[in-house]
Amino acid sequence: MSDIQIISDFDNRLLQRRELSLRVPYTNKKTPKKEEAVQILSTFLKADPSLISLRRISPIFGKQESVINARVYEDANQLKKIETINKKLKKKAEAAPQQAAK
């Protein structure tokens, strides 16, 4: 955990969020999945995982590390107001209540 480096940290007051770029090493492992990356960032930044929005995980060629671009929101309302949900997750969310009703 202590090997994580913050490349850039921008406090966007207008949108009530922090925009971060971090360099995350991982030895003898593959590139972390989004869920794993959110957990790593939440422990490193001491933030609620539900308020973290990952933009991109970019592995660095030839090294066992990635650059993670993320946004950490101050509250859930601001997150819902600004972030969009991709089609796959939206379909899954719409299908869940219908399956529960059956």
Which two three-digit tokens encode residue 57? 């995980």
Whole-model pTM: value is 0.77
pLDDT at 9: 94
- Domain covering 5-101 in this structure, CATH number: 3.30.70.3370
Picking from 30, 19, 20, 21, the residue whose alpha carbon sits closest to that of residue 65 is 30
Q: What is the domain partition of the chain in residue ranges?
A: 5-101
Residue 101's pLDDT band, with cuts at 50, 70 and 90, is: low
pLDDT at 20: 95
Residue 102's pLDDT band, with cuts at 50, 70 and 90, is: low
As a whole number of angstroms, the distance between CA 1 and CA 57 comes to 17
CA atoms within 13 A on the CB side of 93: 6
Residues 42-98: tens digit of each pLDDT: 999 999 999 999 999 999 998 999 999 999 999 988 888 888 877 777 777 777 777
As a whole number of angstroms, the distance between CA 19 and CA 85 comes to 18
Residues 31-53: tens digit of each pLDDT: 889 999 999 999 999 999 999 99
Give whole-number Cα distances, 16 to 12, 19, 73, in Å. 6, 10, 6
Residue 22, C-beta contacts closer than 8 angstroms, at least 6 positions apart:
4, 5, 6, 7, 41, 44, 67, 68, 70
